[in-house]
Amino acid sequence: MSNTSSSSSSFVKTSVKQPYIWAIAALVLLLIINLIKDPSYLGISVNAVTGDLSGNLIDILRASAPIMMIAVGMTLVIATRGIDLSVGSVMAVSGAVSMEFMHDAGDGSLGSALMAIALALGISAFLGLINGLLVSIVGLQPFITTLIMMLAGRGLAKVITSGQNTSASNEFFRWIANGTVLGFPVVFVIGAVIVAIVALLVRRSALGLMIESIGINPKAARMAGIRPVGLLIFVYILSAVLAGVAGIFSTASVMTVEVAKTGFSSEMDAILAVVIGGTSLAGGKFSLTGSVIGALLIATLDKTIVFLAIPSSATPAFKAIVIVAICLLQSQRVRALFSQRRARTSTPRKEAVSA
Amino acid sequence: MFKAPRFRSIAGLALVGAVALSLSACSASGGGDDASGDGKDLTTIGFVAVGPEGGWRTANEKNIQDSFSEENGFELKYAPATNGDQNSQITAFTSFIDEDVDAILLSATEATGWESILERAKEAEIPVVLLDRGIEPNDTKLYTSHIAPDNVGISASAAEWANKQFPNGGNYVVLEGPPGLSVVNDRNKGWDEKIDSNLTKLESQSANWSTEEAKSVFETILKANNNNVQLVFAQNDEMGLGAALAVEEAGLKPGTDVKIITIDGTKAALEALSAGRLSFVAEYNPLFGDTAIDVVNKAIAGDKVESDIVVPSVTFDSPEAAKTALPDRKY
């Protein structure tokens, strides 16, 4: 007993030191604000008609799943000193492929849903492969490469659906985004499992360390025998596949792909989630936990804005203020101002500059 | 060592000269064609468009493209905005002025910020016809004509329908497009002017014309108000359909528990209306290519053109009305 309590207290101690502690604080603060507005905010009830659990927390978990996916992919790409601006467009491509396929199949069967998912993820992986090849072998800047893919992907989605918003009906596909498993939304469960798999993959093997080493010092990493080419291709493919999953999540929720809207400016949400989670945009050390918390925070923020009935013209400003506040709290320079004990000589974190 | 580059530069100069000669020859012969063509030449039109946005926009831009066809004597240059970005529209507009096209059609993604570029078109004596979306401040001296269905009137008719449906009042929510668009301002204006004071506006949120966002926004609004919402005014069809999904998810019935009004009248919305998932659809007629041709021809000929032309639109208030209209719905 004492053993577990001491380990849990050390967990608390270590997480207090993490930069994402402020994201957690902001998350709690937002929930408290919502609670003040409506004391039953956190209540979860069983919907008498549909039989599903319903509540604001469930909605937040559901809304956070797509952001979580792209944020995790983005974390690994950023850790290699790269960036993936194409995630939003890959979401649109993946959604377009799956909707178009199920619309043509028209039978609404489980088989066509699985086939649509496989096709969507396959094409996403292919787009990621192009990103990876251009960055690692051709040596193009990640920013430019993925910017091109962002424009090309949106165009590709428009070509696939001939510029139309395409709907399909498929019970299984709809269930992915709207159903529940043991009371939890299916999207969140799938998302959490995928995050867990990625986390195991990078943290239980040397993969995470190798990705960090490329980001910290590519030359030293190469001299230590780490080949960047394969790793870079791997992270860009992973990021694109996760974006494909996010695209499936967001189109499945309404069973429509909106070529101009699906995943639009999602890359910004992903980058924000990564930065809020404490991963430096300069590459190197990364925190998947932080990015997941960042994704949850962004989803909560979006929902809070609606819940508090903040006028729509003021919402971008409200969002910006919350995020700037978190980034300021995370920046070491600002924290040093608060605690005089900390030595001023410590190098300021780069995200404070870029955020 | 010196010879090779010098030879190259001389060769280069010769090449430039040859190209220049052949080009001037080209333009000379082109001029000859012009003279002999006797006005059979195509009129060049630049279309600064919004690009794929939803069913309505696709129908509208396709109709414009089909109307300004080569058979009708036009060469239409179609320039959709990159992801709804005004900057990309201004770039396209500028290049159309530089190409000296005969007329420019503009569907602005943002209402403001067009003064200086319209001034330039005026100096170049290129008539500009605004399609659908207006500009702010609405200076009629800067453009030839504005062709659009009447947003204010359409949303006012929606508000009048709502007043009749809820004589004893109720709570309603507005789902609007991105703040700042002239469409959004006009649709709000018509609604706010006509809606009865015993109907209470709970919230007005932007869902960016998107089904997905509208669903997410409206499920939260329902929770924030304990499902005590009787009416949704969605400023386009896509958002209305998203709201209907959120209503169904909350275990309520769209049409009876929550009535949903949408504007645009696309096929998807009429199908939903005939299935009873929407309650009122106000058409925002996108098919005004013929009117646009008429206006452009008059403007090029130097005739006087009405500065504000309203495209007539109808409303659908019952599943039956939707069913009659569905078979020959073009968009």
- Rounded Cα distance between A293 and A300, Å, is 10
Rounded mean pLDDT of B40-50?
Answer: 87
Which chain A residues are Cβ-neighbours of B220 within 8 angstroms? Answer: 56, 59, 303, 306-307
Structure tokens at B119: 């001034």
Q: What's the confidence (pLDDT) of residue B30?
A: 38
Residue B280 has pLDDT above 50, yes or no: yes
The DSSP code for B254 is B
| Residue A38, amino acid | D
Residue A355 has pLDDT above 80, yes or no: no
Nearest to residue B273, comparing CAs of B324, B312, B323, B235? Answer: B323
Give ∠ CA A130-A132-A138 in degrees, rounded to 5.
Answer: 85
Structure tokens at B105: 């059609």
CATH number 1.10.3470 given to A22-37+53-354: yes
Compute how many other C-beta atoms are within 10 angstroms of the C-beta atom of residue B306.
12
Structure tokens at A68: 């979580």
**pLDDT band, residue B40 (cuts 50/70/90):** low
Contacts 24+ apart (CB under 8 A), A227-234: A228/A80, A228/A136, A229/A136, A229/A137, A230/A136, A231/A80, A231/A207, A232/A80, A232/A82, A232/A132, A232/A135, A232/A136, A233/A129, A233/A132, A233/A133, A233/A136, A234/A132
Rounded mean pLDDT of A252-257?
Answer: 93
Residue B54 and residue A258: Cβ atoms within 8 Å? yes
With CA atoms as reference, the chain A residue closest to B201 would be A309
- Rounded Cα distance between A16 and A20, Å, is 8
CA distances from B159 to A64, A134, A201, B280, B312 (A): 36, 55, 57, 10, 18
Structure tokens at A225: 């025998």
Structure tokens at A3: 């053993």
- Rounded Cα distance between B177 and A13, Å, is 46
With CA atoms as reference, the chain B residue closest to A303 would be B220
Residue B15 has pLDDT above 70, yes or no: no
Asked if A307 and A317 touch (Cβ cutoff 8 Å), the reply is no
Nearest to residue B272, comparing CAs of B323, B307, B223, B230? Answer: B323
CA distances from B297 to B44, B104, B291 (A): 12, 12, 10
Residue A56 and residue B223: Cβ atoms within 8 Å? yes
Residue to substitute from A261, A301, A307, interface B, most B β-carbons within 10 A: A261
Rounded mean pLDDT of A36-48?
Answer: 84
Residue B141 has pLDDT above 60, yes or no: yes
Which chain A residues are Cβ-neighbours of B249 within 8 angstroms? Answer: 50, 178
In this predicted structure, which of A232-236, A266-270, A328-332, B300-304 has the lowest mean pLDDT?
A: A328-332
Rounded mean pLDDT of A282-291?
Answer: 92
Which chain A residues are Cβ-neighbours of B238 within 8 angstroms? Answer: 165, 256, 258
| Residue A327, amino acid | C
Rounded mean pLDDT of A22-30?
Answer: 90
Mean pLDDT of chain A: 88
Determine the distance from the C-alpha atom of residue B33 to the mean position of all C-alpha atoms in its chain, rounded to a whole number: 37
Rounded mean pLDDT of A344-353?
Answer: 49
Nearest to residue B152, comparing CAs of B182, B130, B174? Answer: B182
Residue to substitute from B85, B200, B223, B253, interface A, most A β-carbons within 10 A: B223
pLDDT digits (tens, 9 = 90+) for A102-128: 999 988 899 999 999 999 999 999 999
Bond into B137 cis (ω within 30): yes
Q: Given the DSSP bridges, would you call strands B280-283 and B315-316 parallel, antiparallel or unpaired?
A: antiparallel
Q: What's the confidence (pLDDT) of residue A317?
A: 86
Please name the member of A47, A49, A311 whose beta carbon is closest to the beta carbon of B204: A311
**pLDDT band, residue A8 (cuts 50/70/90):** low
Mean pLDDT of chain B: 85
Structure tokens at B10: 């001389």
Beta bridge partners of B47: B78, B105
Query: Count of residues for chain B?
Result: 331
- Rounded Cα distance between A297 and B8, Å, is 63
CA distances from A143 to A131, A209, A214, A326, A331 (A): 10, 23, 17, 25, 24
Asked if A75 and A227 touch (Cβ cutoff 8 Å), the reply is no
| A157 CB-contact burial (10 Å; exposed 0-12 / middle 13-18 / buried 19+) | buried
**pLDDT band, residue A252 (cuts 50/70/90):** very high
B173 contact A CB<8A: no
B203 contact A CB<8A: yes
Nearest chain A CA: its distance from B206 CA (Å): 5
**pLDDT band, residue A309 (cuts 50/70/90):** confident
Structure tokens at A196: 């867990």
Please name the member of A63, A154, A302 whose beta carbon is closest to the beta carbon of B83: A154
Q: What's the confidence (pLDDT) of residue B22?
A: 47
Which CATH superfamily includes the segment(s) B151-284+316-328? Response regulator (3.40.50.2300)
**pLDDT band, residue B135 (cuts 50/70/90):** confident
pLDDT digits (tens, 9 = 90+) for B80-134: 988 778 999 999 999 999 999 999 999 998 888 899 999 999 999 999 999 988 8
- The SS3 call for residue B281 is strand
- Rounded Cα distance between A168 and A213, Å, is 45
Phi-psi region at A44: left, alpha or beta (left = phi > 0; alpha = psi -120 to 50):
beta
Nearest to residue B175, comparing CAs of B129, B244, B225, B232? Answer: B232
Domains B43-149+286-312 and B151-284+316-328 share a fold: yes
Residue B165 has pLDDT above 50, yes or no: yes
Greater confidence (A15 vs B262) lies with B262
Asked if A121 and A222 touch (Cβ cutoff 8 Å), the reply is no
Give ∠ CA A281-A286-A289 in degrees, rounded to 5.
Answer: 120
**pLDDT band, residue B304 (cuts 50/70/90):** confident
Residue B240 has pLDDT above 60, yes or no: yes
Residue to substitute from B211, B258, B277, interface A, most A β-carbons within 10 A: B211
* Tokens 């030879």 found at: B7
Asked if A244 and A123 touch (Cβ cutoff 8 Å), the reply is yes
Residue B238 and residue A258: Cβ atoms within 8 Å? yes
The DSSP code for A348 is P
- Rounded Cα distance between B165 and B169, Å, is 9
pLDDT digits (tens, 9 = 90+) for B72-82: 899 999 999 88
Residue B20 has pLDDT above 80, yes or no: no
Nearest to residue B197, comparing CAs of B228, B162, B230? Answer: B162
Q: What's the confidence (pLDDT) of residue B27?
A: 42
Domain boundaries, chain A: 22-37+53-354
Structure tokens at B43: 């009129």
ipTM over 0.90: no
The DSSP code for B258 is B
In terms of DSSP H, where are the helices of chain B?
A: 3-37, 55-67, 86-99, 115-123, 151-165, 182-194, 211-224, 237-249, 267-274, 289-301, 319-325
Residue B206 and residue A63: Cβ atoms within 8 Å? no
Helix axes A186-203, A228-254, angle to 10 degrees: 170
Proportion of chain A above pLDDT 70, given as a percent: 91
Asked if A79 and A282 touch (Cβ cutoff 8 Å), the reply is no
B220 contact A CB<8A: yes
- The SS3 call for residue A38 is coil
Which chain A residues are Cβ-neighbours of B203 within 8 angstroms? Answer: 306, 309
Which chain B residues are Cβ-neighbours of A262 within 8 angstroms? Answer: 212
Phi first, then psi: give them for residue A113, nearest 5 degrees.
-65, -45
Beta strands in chain B (DSSP E): 43-49, 74-80, 103-106, 128-131, 145-149, 170-176, 199-206, 231-234, 259-264, 280-283, 308-311, 315-316
B252 contact A CB<8A: yes
Residue B237 has pLDDT above 70, yes or no: yes
Q: What's the confidence (pLDDT) of residue A2?
A: 44
Greater confidence (B165 vs B35) lies with B165
Q: What's the confidence (pLDDT) of residue A331?
A: 77
- Rounded Cα distance between B217 and A150, Å, is 26
Beta bridge partners of A270: none
Which chain B residues are Cβ-neighbours of A50 within 8 angstroms? Answer: 249, 251
Domain boundaries, chain B: 43-149+286-312, 151-284+316-328
- Rounded Cα distance between B189 and A318, Å, is 25
Which CATH superfamily includes the segment(s) B43-149+286-312? Response regulator (3.40.50.2300)
* Tokens 């299916």 found at: A186
Nearest chain A CA: its distance from B246 CA (Å): 9
The DSSP code for A138 is I
**pLDDT band, residue A334 (cuts 50/70/90):** confident
CA distances from B208 to B176, B213, B265 (A): 7, 7, 18
- Rounded Cα distance between B188 and B204, Å, is 10
